[in-house]
């Protein structure tokens, strides 16, 4: 059984256990399970309950567990609890949330609500949330957490471990220990394993790793996630312009960012306008879905009028050769699929850093070679289909079926090549202009190659059939 299947099965079993204890009214056992099971499973179980029950469950836990579980709630539930609890009670839970999630929630509150909450927060929590909330959410500063441990280079291993216990970072953030000076300027890092396995009298400076990967506080969050993925890091330190350690970004956060960026690119490629505040599908209103989709649909429909104008311009060709109309859908579908495939491959490669803007000539040449092979394959299949399976009654006098088949298959072959070049070239052009390649959505490419395809189709037919 695959690991993902085992995880899903375990999660389902955990939910069943919690539900059974809840239905049987075994509150003490239920609370005990809250403390033992993964936080996410507990949060998912609670979110299905009425708000009053969620509050009752939370109050039976110690404040650290409340903050931990509250951090894994969806933001919509967090906001509902903010309105349901008095400010003093909420401030206690708020102070024990993970710092990055706490800052995200704080930014969702109105200015008035923020002002109401601040007086009830401890000084260090108040300072922390204000500092983290000051950074734009799309930067490293906007996603970092202050939940980390620091030590000094002149400490012994025993002194360093004592300071780590005093700092008390969460167990998820304790693998890397950051070495700083009195001004929080980062000098390097050690791992917890280094400290534990060394002699208690050994100096930190003897085991410090001075060559480390880091991100800048204003660096784009997608770049930060890519660094974590590239170097297989548990966490990455975030430094300001003075090289002072101001936070860290964990690999869990990187996974969330990568998923969010992939979802955003997927929606853009489908011609859907994205928003940073989008909720889940069922939680989003139908009108909001309408607004996200209508721009592309209406714009492309307007552009699609050009296709009708082209067909109208070549009406005499269609009237003389009705058989051309039978293969117009095939031409459009083949071109659209080829263009979308090329665009998908290029956008993916750009996002992974496999190709760069200066590689455009190599990319276009490579796609041209690939599409040439595809065009030969499609042209042969099209020729055989038309030559042997089409109705001869549709032929105008003086023309053979093989000649018609050659003309249509040749036009479709050209369409395959041009569609691939367009599909590969448009993302590169958008990227070159400083835009997001994903905005060259699949519907847009299909519409463009439909127009070019019709021009190619009827131009080739007009020339080969001698019709002006």
pLDDT tens profile 88-103: 999 999 999 988 889 9
Tally Cβ neighbours within 10 Å of residue 50. Answer: 8
Evaluate if residue 414 carries a pLDDT over 60: yes
CB-based burial, 79-92: b 16+ in 10 Å, e otherwise: eebbeebeeebbbe
- The CATH superfamily of 281-465 is SLC41 divalent cation transporters, integral membrane domain (1.10.357.20)
Torsion of CA 402, 408, 411, 412, to 10 degrees: -120
Dist. CA 436–CA 429, nearest whole Å: 10
Domain with CATH 1.10.357.20 in the chain: 281-465
Phi, psi of 35 (to 5 degrees): -80, -20
341 exposure class (CB count in 10 Å sphere: 0-12, 13-18, 19+): buried
Across 340-362, average pLDDT? 84
The answer to whether the beta carbons of residues 94 and 61 sit under 8 Å apart is: no
Which neighbouring-strand residues pair with 203? 156
404 HSE (CA, 13 A, CB side): 26
pLDDT digits 0-9 by tens, 378-406: 999 999 988 887 666 666 677 788 888 89
Dist. CA 104–CA 98, nearest whole Å: 10
247 vs 295: which has the higher pLDDT:
247
Residue 199: both structure tokens together: 């002699």
pLDDT confidence of residue 7:
64
SS3 content of the chain, % helix, strand, coil (to 5): 70, 5, 25
Dist. CA 178–CA 188, nearest whole Å: 6
Dist. CA 282–CA 264, nearest whole Å: 17
Phi, psi of 154 (to 5 degrees): -85, 5
Residue 251: both structure tokens together: 């690999």
The answer to whether the beta carbons of residues 301 and 377 sit under 8 Å apart is: no
320 vs 427: which has the higher pLDDT:
427
Evaluate if residue 1 carries a pLDDT over 50: no
> If you count DSSP H runs as helices and E runs as strands, how many of each does the chain have, helices first?
22, 6
Helices (H), 134-278: 140-143, 157-167, 192-197, 221-231, 251-269
Across 6-14, average pLDDT? 72
Lowest mean pLDDT among 156-170, 196-210, 248-262, 292-306: 292-306
Torsion sign (Cα): 19, 22, 27, 29: negative
Round the average pLDDT of the chain to a whole number and report it.
Answer: 85
Q: Is 51 left (phi over 0), alpha (psi -120 to 50) or beta?
A: alpha
The answer to whether the beta carbons of residues 374 and 345 sit under 8 Å apart is: no
pLDDT confidence of residue 189:
94
Integer CA distances (angstroms), 387 to 295, 330, 335, 382, in order? 43, 15, 21, 8
pLDDT confidence of residue 379:
94
Phi, psi of 272 (to 5 degrees): -115, 130
- The CATH superfamily of 3-134 is MgtE N-terminal domain-like (1.25.60.10)
150-250 — its CATH code?
Answer: 3.10.580.10
CB-based burial, 457-466: b 16+ in 10 Å, e otherwise: bbebbeebbe
Domain with CATH 3.10.580.10 in the chain: 150-250
Dist. CA 390–CA 13, nearest whole Å: 59
Lowest mean pLDDT among 74-78, 145-149, 307-311, 387-391: 387-391
3-state SS string for 166-191: HHCCCHHHCCEEEEECCCCEEEEEEE
């Amino acid at each position: 059984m695959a690991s993902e299947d085992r995880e899903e099965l375990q999660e389902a079993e955990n939910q069943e256990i919690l539900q059974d204890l809840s239905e049987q009214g075994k509150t003490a056992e239920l609370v005990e399970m809250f403390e033992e099971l993964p936080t996410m499973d507990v949060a998912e179980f609670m979110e299905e309950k009425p708000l009053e029950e969620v509050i009752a469950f939370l109050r039976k836990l110690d404040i650290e567990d409340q903050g931990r579980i509250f951090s894994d709630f969806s933001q919509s539930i967090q906001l509902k609890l903010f309105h349901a609890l008095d400010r003093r009670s909420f401030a206690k839970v708020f102070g024990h949330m993970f710092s990055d999630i706490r800052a995200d929630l704080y930014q969702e509150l109105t200015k008035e609500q923020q002002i109401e909450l601040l007086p009830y927060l401890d000084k260090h929590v108040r300072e922390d949330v204000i500092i983290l909330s000051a950074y734009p959410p799309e930067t490293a500063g906007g996603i970092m957490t202050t939940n980390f441990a620091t030590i000094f280079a002149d400490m012994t291993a025993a002194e360093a471990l004592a300071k780590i216990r005093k700092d008390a970072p969460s167990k998820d953030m304790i693998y890397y220990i950051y070495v700083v000076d009195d001004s929080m300027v980062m000098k390097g890092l050690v791992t917890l394993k280094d400290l534990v396995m060394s002699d208690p009298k050994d100096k930190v400076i003897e085991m410090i790793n001075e060559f480390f990967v880091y991100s800048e506080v204003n660096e784009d969050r997608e770049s930060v996630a890519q660094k974590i993925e590239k170097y297989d890091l548990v966490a990455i330190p975030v430094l300001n312009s003075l090289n002072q350690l101001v936070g860290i970004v964990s690999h869990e956060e990187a996974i969330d960012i990568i998923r969010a960026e992939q979802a955003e690119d997927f929606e853009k490629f489908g011609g859907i306008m994205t928003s940073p505040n989008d909720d889940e599908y069922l939680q989003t209103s139908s009108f909001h879905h309408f607004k996200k989709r209508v721009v592309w649909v209406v714009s492309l429909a307007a552009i699609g009028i050009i296709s009708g104008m082209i067909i109208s311009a070549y009406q005499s060709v269609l009237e003389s050769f009705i058989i051309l109309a039978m293969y117009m859908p095939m031409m459009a579908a083949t071109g659209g699929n080829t263009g979308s495939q090329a665009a998908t491959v290029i956008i993916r490669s750009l996002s992974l850093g496999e190709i760069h803007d200066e590689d455009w000539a190599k990319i276009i040449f490579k796609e041209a070679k690939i599409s040439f092979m595809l065009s030969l394959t499609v042209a042969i299949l099209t020729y055989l289909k038309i030559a042997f399976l089409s109705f001869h009654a549709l032929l105008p006098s003086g023309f053979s079926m093989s000649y018609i088949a050659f003309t249509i298959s040749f036009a479709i072959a050209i369409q395959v090549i041009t569609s691939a070049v367009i599909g590969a070239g448009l993302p590169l052009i958008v990227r070159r202009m400083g835009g997001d390649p994903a905005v060259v959505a699949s519907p847009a490419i299909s519409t463009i190659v439909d127009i070019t395809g019709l021009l190619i189709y009827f131009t080739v037919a007009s020339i080969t059939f001698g019709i002006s």
